[in-house]
A and B are shown apart, each in its own frame.
Chain A
Amino acid sequence: MAATVASPSVPPETLEQFKQTWSDAPPGLLGMLREVNNIPIARRYMLTGFAFFLAGGLLGLLMRVQLGTPENTFLDAETYNQIFTMHGTTMMFLFVIPFIEALANYILPLMLGTRDLPFPRMTALSYWTYLFGGIFLYSSFLFGMAPDGGWFALVPLTNIEYSPGLNMDFWDIGLSVAEIAAIGAAAEMIVAILRARAAGMSLNRMPIFGWAMLVTGAMIIFAFTPLIVGTAMLELDRKGLTAFFKPEAGGKPLLWQHIFWIFGHPEVYIMFIPAAGIVSHVVQTLARRPLVSYTLMVLSIVSIGFISFGLWVHHMFATGMSAVAMGFFTAASLAIAIPNGIQVFGWIATLWAGRPVWRTPLLFVLGFLVIFTIGGLTGVMVAAVPFDWQAHDTYFVVAHFHYVLIGGVVFPLLAGMYYWLPKITGRLLSERLGRWNFWLMFVFFNVAFFPMHISGLLGMPRRVYTYPAGLGLETLNLVSTIGAFGFAIGVSLFAVNVLWSRKRGEPAGDNPWDSDSLEWSETSPPPDAQFVRIPVVASRHPLWEQPDLLPHEPRLARQLEDLHARPARWRGSLVVSVLDAKPVAIAHLPGPTLAPFTMAVAFLALFAWALIEETVLLAAGGVLAAVAFFLWFRPQQTETLALEEFRGREVDPDRLPLAVGGPIASGWWGMLVFIAVLTTALATTVTGYFYLGDAQGGSVLPGAILEPGVAMLLSIAGIATGAWAVRGVRRRLPGTVRLGLAATWVLSAVALGLGVHAIPWDTLDPEHSAYASGVLAVVGFQWLVVIILLVAATLGLLWAIGRPEDRRGHTVAHNVSLLATFTGVSAAVVFAVVYLSPRLW
């Protein structure tokens, strides 16, 4: 089929300039730090993720050496605690999620037919933040203070009384950094999938991996946000400022378990759903036929996304809950087997009905099907409460989740690597090494982890650094250890294969697998300037079913001509409608900048300050954050150029306008995602407040209802003034915009002042009262939201005063209005929760 090519109508110098504009390769270190293009960033992201995978694997091997024989003294208990904590933390937070996001950063824009992700600076910020978060966590080993309370950090073990060192502070703070990176990456994936697809790629034609990443992105928003709130609560408790989880002050350790597992269980599916997306592509391509029942496969992904949020209590069956409450979660835990089963049968049916080519990616899929199905079956077993009580906290559970996670995530990721690495490097991996790689991993995985089912059923508990001889556990553990080393050799063969193929692998060509999706229409490796010509999609399998990717409707052709090796002097990409992917605008994308790197360093300094409370770090972090903020939000020259080029476009129906100002801009959609994050955080703090309930050891805030009531009304009034500013934008009334924004600013500032003043600081004692801690969590969240609104309104005012006609300022005004709306609603909720609800009983 015809690949996308520049038409002869584009002069060579324009094409050259276009490529130059998209190139992120200024030489030297500075150039590397300024890169924002998805391709180089995603490459680094994947390499870093793989390095953490090897580090986490090494920690796993150390554990297996220790457990290989009874009463072993290779590691002492404290070191073992640190190693098993960092093994789990690394694999969950520093390998799987970042690696999946990195792969998506690379492949998704290509697969969707777009030139880059909608927020390139966010791509870079996510990477740097993740890297620094990982280094921060691992630096704890240098001080002998690696986290030691488990990757789940259950309280009261991780309260300051029982974990007095900085170990769990490293975990708390380092994790927050990695979580911010994950949420940032999720936000831009959501916006990319909804708004940055190829022309004609309606939702029913979107590749399965696109659906998988859309659902995963949403799940990250709703699952990671509670964890950020929870880790903040834990850290405040550890600093002695609050008492959320301290029973002696009315706090409840089980609140932590609820918050952690409402993140922790969806997390399993956050890892599995993208893996399932990868499997669908590999199966479809190598079975040489379209996936059986695309619709059911999409619905399975959506269903899993929902049901996964109703399973968290099955991690808490042994905490003493009522039988019927556990019944609800058992039902959900069993129900999720239905969509999972649909997917498994879908893949089997596709292979059955196709003509499978048993290359290495498909072997890994086969391994995945076997191992994941076993993990799924033991999952159904532990979903049943009576069995769970027997197997809880034993090696049976360790075996179960390794079958699910290695079988359900690592095997598909390797299938994906064998499948997509030829696109990324331009070289095919060795088939022979690949087969050795697969069979060693498959066989030794089972040698390592299958015996753990038995050792668990024999009663071997998890998280023990050793066990006595004579319990019948020696052979099983020795076999597991041998298996772990064999598995490690299998994994290392993958690294060998990648290195070998860099020099000696066969050139891959554009489409070595004869695949159907758009990433295979670009060269291998793809250029930084992806899609010289924006592809047009008219099928679910464009490379199988379309003769070319060119526009055949005259109007569409005219609209897309402006993106044919253009814009040449700035980075532009297509924006489409959500459902049917009709072209609606051209987005300006920012070029190289130091802003993301500087912001990530600022985060690092601020989090280091949170760890050791050294004022210099706070000052440095503050200054760097201010510099990064300025670099990020100052007017960009290329955007000014874009605005000039597109002036007057709105009146020509055959030409696409520039995507600035209001819902047409990606920033507006980004703000919606940010509001989803804030809503989730609000829900978490409010639920926490009510969960702490009447055992809070406190009382209703004395008499303070007038001031907070007025503060709430002022915030609600901010909704109207924000909308007023937007009305001014629409009617081209700069004075109205200024007044609307100024009024929003003043109302918010006064609301903040009144809200803070209303708190009886002399009687409210969060250090010794869970009630006071709950109050401060809810109102503190509201203050934070108001501060963010104040910053946004200040930015909007600067634009409105300095450049009232500039449409970039109009985008900011729209976003301020959205944020003001959330702030008003949130103020009403907070007031009702903190000041009204206690008066109801």
Chain B
Amino acid sequence: MSLFLAFLGAPVVWVVHLAVSYFLVALDCATDWNGARIAVLLVTALCALAAGGSGVYAWRGGASIDPPQVREFLVRSGAILAALFAGAIILSGMAPLFLPICS
């Protein structure tokens, strides 16, 4: 589990962010609820933090992996993936700042 968190935590959070954001917008457009803009921004902040957190966890060597060279490869990879996917989450999550929710 710790290996999964360190290596693939951020990409999985990115998937969750996309799915939740898409769902919130669909809900906003299909019902009387009009809170998608704030909700998406909030989810974006949380997901970016979570993705970044998985990178920090990886970088600090949170995963107990043997042997050391495999561990080094995986945690370094996890940290880089976290940076990339935290950026991707922010890039997607900014859309409500500039675009109308339902149009």
Contacts and interface: CB of A to CB of B under 8 A. Distances in A.
A295 B70 contact: no
Helix, strand, loop or mixed for chain B's interface? Answer: helix
A310 B18 contact: yes
Contact of B88 (A296, A323, A327, A331): A331
A579 B65 contact: yes
B39 to A, nearest CB: 12
Interface in A318-338: 322-325, 327-328, 330-332, 334-335, 338
Nearest to B66: A580
A46 B87 CA distance: 41
A204 interface: yes
Interface string B20-37: 011001100110000010
Interface stretch (A300-308, A419-427, A497-505, A523-531): A300-308
Contacts, number: 96
Contacts of A324: 25, 36, 40, 95-96, 99-101
Contact of A332 (B18, B69, B80, B96): B18
Contacts of B96: 324, 327
Nearest to B23: A690
B91 interface: yes
Contacts of A323: 99-101, 103
B11 interface: yes
A737 B94 CA distance: 56
Contacts of B99: 323-324, 327
A325 B92 contact: no
Nearest to B102: A322
A832 to B, nearest CB: 17
Interface residues of B, number: 41
B32 to A, nearest CB: 12
B59 interface: no
B24 to A, nearest CB: 10
A204 B77 CA distance: 10
Interface string A287-319: 000000001101100110011011000000000
Contact of B15 (A309, A339, A579): A309
Contact of A579 (B70, B77, B95): B70
Given A204-B69, A295-B73, A580-B67, A327 B84 contact: no
B29 A327 contact: no
A34 to B, nearest CB: 40
Contacts of A203: 70, 73-74
A580 B3 CA distance: 13
A573 interface: no
Contacts of A299: 77, 80-81, 84
Contacts of A204: 69-70, 72-74
Contacts of B25: 322, 324-325, 328
A335 B81 contact: no
Contacts of B3: 579
Interface string A670-694: 0000000000000000000000010
Interface of B: 3, 8, 11, 14-15, 18, 21-22, 25-26, 29-30, 36, 40, 65-67, 69-70, 72-74, 76-77, 80-81, 84-85, 87-88, 91-92, 94-96, 98-103
The 3 closest A-B pairs by CB, nearest first: A327-B95, A204-B73, A331-B92
15 contacts: A203-B73, A204-B73, A296-B80, A299-B80, A303-B11, A303-B81, A307-B14, A309-B15, A310-B18, A322-B29, A323-B100, A328-B21, A338-B84, A579-B74, A580-B67
